[in-house]
Each structure stands twice: as structure tokens, then as C-alpha cells.
Structure 1
């Protein structure tokens, strides 16, 4: 049973890292579930401080994930069309067979979204830049947290490696 929980936890960690880039998956939340699964194993003693602190970080990051892109768009004079365009552009950019589509897609999507809203090219470009910068900041923050959770997961497994196998 421990090996199954360890495997599921590790799969959650990897899915969480991918989820930090995809707007459909809540990356930090999935990674936190991986930590919880690790602590359900019999070989590793539960540390409620680590789980509590990482849960608090996950909640804060989840809230900021919605606030940062909106603030970036608003600061540069954008609308909700730019935010929606960023998310749609990201999905298209990931699926499209172009290099760096996951970076180009959100910017183009925000630009098109703002063009639909305002019809002003300069304003749309400025708002798309704000939306894109907010998206990048939020994604980078989620990626860092997921990588820290993965490091914590691997560190705990390494510490207790003799008891698991």
C-alpha cells in the first residue's frame, strides 16, 4: 500500500508541475495532494506543520493566481477580454505545433481579445502586454511552488528511503 501511495503522490507532483503551466489544472493544489498522499504512508511519520504551512502557501498561491493577471491587465488598461484571450491563447499555443507556442499564444490571445474589445491597436498591444506579464508572473510563481513541493517530496522520500523499500 505504501508503494501505491508513493507512486500516486509522485504522479500528483509531476501533474502539479505541468498544471502550473496549464490554466485548466490547479498545479499547486495537485502537488499538495501529492504531499498529503506521501504522509498517508506508514513509513513516514505525519508532520502536520509541513502539511499546514504548505496548505497555507497553496491557498495563497491559488488566490494570487487569479489576482495577478487581472491586476497586470488592469494596470496596463486592459479588460476581461484580454484575460480570456490570454487563457484561450495559452491552450491554442500549447496545442499548436509551433516553437514556444505556450509563450506566444497567451500574448497573441490577449492582443486579439483586446482588439475585439477596444479596436485600438496601441491600447490593445499595451493591455496585451500587461495581461501577458501578469500571466508570466503567475505561472512562474506557481511553477516555483510546485518545484519546491517536488523537492520537499523527494527530500522526505530520500530521508525515509530505507523504510519504504
Structure 2
């Protein structure tokens, strides 16, 4: 059973790293589930503080990933309409992943431009706000990737520390 949990946990952690870039997978929470599966084995002692803190970080990053593009729009001079457009564009890219990975970049950008144009902002200002949305998207993606990689590192280090518990023949 421990080997099954180990393999499933490793699969989840790797899937979470890819989920940092893919719009349909919440990267850090999937990576965290992989880490949790490792700690549910009898080979690795439970560290509920580590699991709790990493779980809060993973959930916080997911929340920030929805907030950062809107904040980027505002930082680059976007209005409330641009922020709403960014958010609607992000939701469209999640609900209708027609363009795949490109959609999660394009739709918030388009949403910000449309929102600003509806707000009767100049084309130049609308594009600037949309650029802020794009910067926000890149920031959120980078943050998700970093957290997923840290969770992968914790998984690998914990596995390495207790590898002989999983594979006793390695005791030599």
C-alpha cells in the first residue's frame, strides 16, 4: 500500500507542476495532495505542521492567481471595468478552454481591452491595462510554478530520507 501511495503521490506532485501552466489543473493544490499522500504512508512520519502550512500556501496561491491579473490591470492604469473584464476573461478561459494554454493568456487580455473600451477609455490606455493583465497572469503562473516546485522538492527530500523504509533492500 505504501508503494501505491508513493507512486500516486509522485504522480500528483508532477501533475501539479504541469498544472502550474495548464488552465484546467490547479497546480499547487494537486502537488500538495501528492505531498499529503507521501505523509499518509507508514514509512514517513506525519508532520502535520508541514502539511498544514504547505496546504495553506497552496490554497493562498490559488486565491492569488485569481486576484493578481486584476491587480495588474489596475496597476497599469486600468479601471474597474478593465478589472471586471480581466476576471470575466479568466473565467471564460477556464470554463471554455478552447484555445488551451494560449486561451488563459488571451482571454484575460481581451477581457481587459473590452472592459476598458466599454468604459470609453482610449485604445492606448485599454492596451496598457490589458498589458497589466498579462503581467499579472505571468506573475501568477510564476508563483504557482515556484510553489509547485518547492512542494516537489519537499516530496523528494522526504522520500530520500525514508527511502530505506520503502525499499528495505537498499539497507545494503
* TM-score, normalised via structure 2 length: 0.80
Of residues 123, 126, 140 in structure 2, which corresponds to 1:124?
Answer: 126
Note the C-alpha offset of 1:47.
1.1
> CA distance change for structure 1 residues 109 and 59 in 2, over 3 Å: closer, same or farther?
closer
Could you tell me how far apart the structure 2 residues matched to 1:20 and 1:149 are?
12
> What does residue 16 of structure 1 align with?
16
Match of 2:162 in 1: 160
* Separation in 2, partners of 1:87, 1:122: 25
Structure 1 portions without partners, runs of 5+: 96-100
Q: Does 1:80 align with 2:84?
A: yes
CA contact (8 A) 2:113 2:130 kept: no
Q: Alpha-carbon deviation of 1:25?
A: 1.5
- TM-score, with normalisation over the residues of structure 1? 0.83
Distance 1:110 1:11 in 2: 30
2:44 and 2:34 map into 1 onto residues whose CA distance is 14
Query: Alignment RMSD, CA only?
Result: 2.2
Query: Structure 1 residues 46 and 110 mapped into 2: Cα distance closer, same or farther (>3 Å)?
Result: closer
* 1:1-165 paired onto structure 2 within 5 Å: 1-76=1-76, 77=78, 78-85=82-89, 91=97, 94=100, 101=102, 106=105, 108-119=106-117, 120-165=122-167
Q: What SS does the corresponding residue of 1:122 show, helix, strand or coil?
A: helix
Residue deviations 1:71-102 (CA, integer Å, cap 9, x gap): 1112220232234435656955546xxxxx58
Structure 2: 5+ residue runs without aligned partners? 168-172
**How many residues are paired up?**
157
- Computing the radius of gyration over CA atoms, which structure comes out larger, 1 or 2? 2
Q: Distance in 2 between matches of 1:83 and 1:36?
A: 31
